Every structure is written in C-alpha cells, then in structure tokens.
Structure 1
Amino acid sequence: HHELLDGTGYPDGLRAGEISDIVRLTTIVDIYTALIEQRPYRVPFTHAKAFATMEKMEGKLDMHLLYAFRPVTFGAY
C-alpha cells in the first residue's frame, strides 16, 4: 500500500499499470487515515484539509478513485 503511480513508492517501485486497483485504493485510505488521525508530532487534519493535500498528489494517486472515495468519507461525518 505504499506504491505510487509515478513509481516513487515502495517496496517495489511499481508504476501505474503495474498497480492493482485494490492497492491504489488502499494507498488512498492509508494516506487519508494518516492525515486525519492524531499523531505525536502534529494535530489531525480536517477532512477537507486532508483531501486538499491529497488532491495535490496528482500523478502519485489515482484521482478517479480519490474522487470516488471523497463522498464516502464526508458522508460518514
């Protein structure tokens, strides 16, 4: 769940076509969760700030899946 579309992720440095949809979605969920949860080194992001941050990751994240994920999370709060 740390592979990014541009090949800069890990552990295998996979690129877009090599990354399955489930891994793409898991990456989005993992990053989102990391942003909105309390961390010892920072306060949690708001849901809006988390998505704004992730939207800046175009080229790294699957934007179609990110935009499909957004209403699910905002609808839950």
Structure 2
Amino acid sequence: MIADKYTVTSYITNGAVALFGALNLEFIMMFIGLILALVTCITNYYFRRRQDKRDVEEAARKEEYHEVRMEIHNRDFNKED
C-alpha cells in the first residue's frame, strides 16, 4: 500500500521534531561549530588555490619581462662594440 504524501510528510516532520527535541544545547553548538569549521576550511582552500594561481602567473610575467630586458640590454651592448 502506497502512503499518501501527507502521511510521509507527517512522519518526516515528527521524526525531525523528535530528533531536534533529543538534542541538547551543547550538541547543537558543537554541530554549528563543526559546520563553521568546515566552511572556513573550504573557503581557505579555495582562496589559497586562487592565490597560488596568481603567484604562478606573476612569476611567468616577471620571467618574460626579465628576458625582454636582457634581450634589449644585450642588443644595446653589442651595438657599442
């Protein structure tokens, strides 16, 4: 026999209320702290990856700039001879 949607909703709601009623304040605060710690960890990882990518791009730009400057310097140095 298939239960109608109201019966299923009632069971789910009653289960959630019973679970929430069984929790004490310390457990709720621990759970919130755990969630916030995970969010902080994920956020930190995301921004570290972005920073690493920017650092690699900046190093490549500096290397290219250095090579161009050395090419100009060598060209100017060879003209003086």
Task: Give the TM-score of the pair, scaled to structure 2.
Answer: 0.31
User: Which has the higher Rg, Structure 1 or Structure 2?
Assistant: 2
Q: Which has the higher helix share?
A: 2
> What TM-score do the two structures reach when normalised by structure 1?
0.32
